[in-house]
Every structure is written in C-alpha cells, then in structure tokens.
Structure 1
Amino acid sequence: MKILCIIPARGGSKRIPRKNIKPFLGKPILSYPISAAKKSGIFSEIMVSTDDDEIAEIANISGAEVPFLRSIKNADDFATTADVLLEVLKKYQDLGQEFEFACCIYPTAPFVTSEKLKEAFSVLKSQCKDVVIPVLPYEHPIQRALFIEKGRLSMLHPENTSIRSQDLPRRYHDSGQFYFFKVSSFLAQKTLWMKDTGAITLSHLLAHDIDSPEDWKIAEMKYTLIQSGQ
C-alpha cells in the first residue's frame, strides 16, 4: 500500500510575501508540516509541489522530495488545490508510480500533528470514506448569526432568538490543514469535497488560520503556548 503526502507550496503570495517559507518561530513554516508527515510514519513519499527554486531547496533540506516543478498554469492565483493535486498524481503516473491513498497538507499549517494525520487515515480506512477532513466547531452557534443592513442589526434566523445556545446543534467548518483521501475516488470526482466525506474534530488550540501579519503573530504565540505545555 503506497501513500503519498503532497504539500502544495507555490512561490507567489499577495497578503504575506514569501508566506510558504517565511520563518515561523525561527524555522521556515513549510518545515512544520513536513516534520509532522515524517513523524507520522504513514507515507511512502513526502513531496512538495512548487514552482519556486528556493522553496524546493528548503523542502529538500526539511526532508521532502521535489521530483518535478509545478507547471506555470497551476502556479497562478486561479489554480485550485484540486488542479495541483491532479497534476501531481498525473506526473507520478507518468513516472510509473501509483498511490492508493494521498494526503494534501497545506504548507502554512504548523499546527498539524502526526497524531491527527494518523487518526484521519484510520477513519479513512476503517469507515471506507472517500476523504477525511479535520474540522473545527464554530465558537458561537451559526444559527444565531447576525447581519447589518442599512445600519440595522438583525438576526439571520429570528426563529432561533429564544433558543438557548447550548440547545442548538453543533456546526463545523474546515480547519484548512489537510485532506486525506483515496486516490481513485479523487481522480473520479476531481474534488476534495467528495460524495462520502468523513471528518475528525480539532480543538481550537490546535488550529489557526494565517491570512495576515496579525494572524501570524497570534499563531506564533499560540504555538509557543502549546509547546510550553501550559
């Protein structure tokens, strides 16, 4: 059984320049998911898909393979993650390599752990899912969402006004960390949101979106707190 880890890390980044290799607590942020993937012991190969020579060099130093560079077409702002994964799997097929399972880990996900990767893979196999995604519970019930229109604050679903928060069903969102999937299902459906999608849940301490310099600082503080065991 061959299992591939794919980390998509292109060179361009608008909001945070060189985001995929920017130092995170002294190390390129790309090195964190590579380390988690290696520690999991799951993968036959850990590769980074990039169009950038510097990123490729850092990936190699961190212990990942860069067997080929990403095409120009899939290195722009409009290429989807699915586009990149399809290209990677096709190039491996051209090299005579087939994989039964694969996991796409985002390069700016320093909170990914080997334990969660193993948990997701276990669910993928034991429940025969197409894909397993780590999710986070919304911190406040989305059924009590508000909106502002013409200066007036209103409830999106006023029927929930008098329902206690704890009595509303829990809802979740994608953590933006990784997708563990069955390759044949992905090649057939060409999307990471597949017909039979499973999930594992994360605590808010083990995930953090990094979309701005402020997010970056908060993520470093959170990561330091976790490492200190507090």
Structure 2
Amino acid sequence: MSKVLGIVPARSGSKRVPGKNMRLLNGKPLLSYALDAALNSKKLTAIAVSSDDETILNSAGQYHSKILCIQRPESLSTDQSTALEYTQHALDFLEKHNSLHFDLIVIIQVTSPFTISDDIDSVIECLEASKADCAASVRRVPHDLHPIKFKRIEHGLLVPLVEAENGRMAAHQLEPVYVRNGAVYASRIELIQKNQLLNENCAAFIMPDERSLDINTEMDLRFAQFLMQSL
C-alpha cells in the first residue's frame, strides 16, 4: 500500500485576495475546507500544512491532532516560489524531523473549497492504477470556451486561433477537451526527485463543474459564498 502525503499549501501572501487562506466562507475559514477533505480521505497516510504564517500553522495544528505543521521559509513563500519548491521542502522537513518517507505526494489547494475527500482519493487511485508519473484533477471545458472558438485580433480583425478542419462546427461535433482545475495534484516521489512535479505523462480525474471553482479573486469568493448558501 502506498504511503501518501497530502500537502495543503497556505502561504500568507495574496495580492488579489488579502489573507485569502483564512477568509471566511459560509462562516468557516477557507483553510478548513481543504483540511476537512484531507482528513476524510481514505488514501492519505499523513497530512501537512505548509505555511510561512504562524497564525495559519497554529490554526491548522489546533484543527486536528493528525495535521503536521511545516514552517515554510519566506524565500519559498513569494509570488515566484513554485509548488515543487515547497513540496521538496516539506519532504525534507518531514524526513528530518519526523523520519517520514512517502511514495506519493498529493497537493490539495485551499482555493478549491468544494473539493471532497472522494476527489482526493480518486486522483490518487488514477495515479496508482496507471503507469503515469503524476495525476491531476480536471474539468471539461464548456463548448462556448472550446479552443476551436478562440480568436486573436490582428489589425483590428478577429482571426481563428485554431483552424477548424471542416469549417464551422456545431457544439455536439466538438471533441471534449479538459483543463486542470487546480484542485488536486498527485506525483510519484521519483518524479519529484527529478525536480519535476508534473509532466506530460499525467493521468486525469474529471471533477464536475460544481466542485471545480478556484478562488483567485474577491468575485470568486463572493460566488463561492452564493453557491454555499444555495446548496
């Protein structure tokens, strides 16, 4: 059975939504939704919160005794810092301080509060059942945003970004396409040891639109609040 680490990244800085990770959504900090999903997972061996913010770490530590708290250095908490960097830091920290080693790493994003434990477990299962190096949650792109409908502007005129083979196509003729929804990522430890988090050998788990909201702006947060109250 794979040893799987779930990492919930929660740095303090957010320019578009200040204090985003601890902002209230339906009366609960945004962070708590990711923690609940992780705690209810049947596949995670351990759960860690990586943050440069002591308030966030204290909140996570008090939320559940199972949660490991990792103090992330400021150098890995800037806008330019990568997910690979804080993942490698978390692995090194847990090996040094807790003697823990893992086969798979899963990143669970705080900005996707509608993610449930089944989504986390399904991404892990997709990876375990395949020969892929990594896996990611995705959502289907609606037909009105299909790449074949994209245009660029040249000299004030709309020009197709992608030429349709048969000219204009009806919605039902368009091949389904998918985009990563930013909710859950999983990687084999061997890939991370090669200084990669994701590559092209990536399995996919399709999440429904209603669980694929990614909060990056104040409007996203307000929309999430509306959805929560509508459920």
- TM (norm. structure 1) is 0.91
Please state how far the C-alpha of 1:195 moved relative to its aligned partner: 4.4
Distance in structure 2 (CA, Å) of the matches to 1:195 and 1:135 = 14
Distance in structure 1 (CA, Å) of the matches to 2:189 and 2:23 = 31
Distance in structure 1 (CA, Å) of the matches to 2:219 and 2:69 = 34
Greater mean deviation of Cα atoms: 77-86 or 145-154: 145-154
Label 1:214 to 1:125 Cα distance change in 2 as closer, same or farther (>3 A): same
1:87-98 matched pairs, under 5 angstroms = 87-95=89-97, 96-98=99-101
Q: Decide which of 73, 76, 81 is 2:75's aligned counterpart.
A: 73
* SS of residue paired to 2:122: helix
* Residue aligning to 1:82: 84
Q: Percent identity of the aligned residues?
A: 26
* Residue aligning to 2:133: 130
Distance in structure 2 (CA, Å) of the matches to 1:150 and 1:162 = 23
* SS of residue paired to 1:40: coil
Label 1:31 to 1:158 Cα distance change in 2 as closer, same or farther (>3 A): same
Greater mean deviation of Cα atoms: 16-25 or 88-97: 88-97
Please state how far the C-alpha of 1:215 moved relative to its aligned partner: 1.1
- The 8 Å contact of residues 186 and 194 in structure 1, kept in 2 or not, is answered as no
* SS of residue paired to 1:7: strand
Q: Look up the equivalent residue of 2:94 and give its one-letter code.
A: Y
Please state how far the C-alpha of 1:25 moved relative to its aligned partner: 0.8
Number of residue pairs matched by the alignment: 225
- The 8 Å contact of residues 33 and 109 in structure 1, kept in 2 or not, is answered as yes
Superposed CA RMSD in Å reads 1.7
Greater mean deviation of Cα atoms: 165-174 or 103-112: 165-174
* Residue aligning to 1:43: 44
Distance in structure 1 (CA, Å) of the matches to 2:76 and 2:105 = 19
Please state how far the C-alpha of 1:211 moved relative to its aligned partner: 1.5
- TM (norm. structure 2) is 0.90
Greater mean deviation of Cα atoms: 99-108 or 121-130: 121-130
Distance in structure 1 (CA, Å) of the matches to 2:49 and 2:92 = 15
Q: Look up the equivalent residue of 2:121 and give its one-letter code.
A: K
Question: Any stretches of 5+ residues in structure 1 without a counterpart?
Answer: none
Distance in structure 1 (CA, Å) of the matches to 2:37 and 2:164 = 44
Question: Any stretches of 5+ residues in structure 2 without a counterpart?
Answer: none
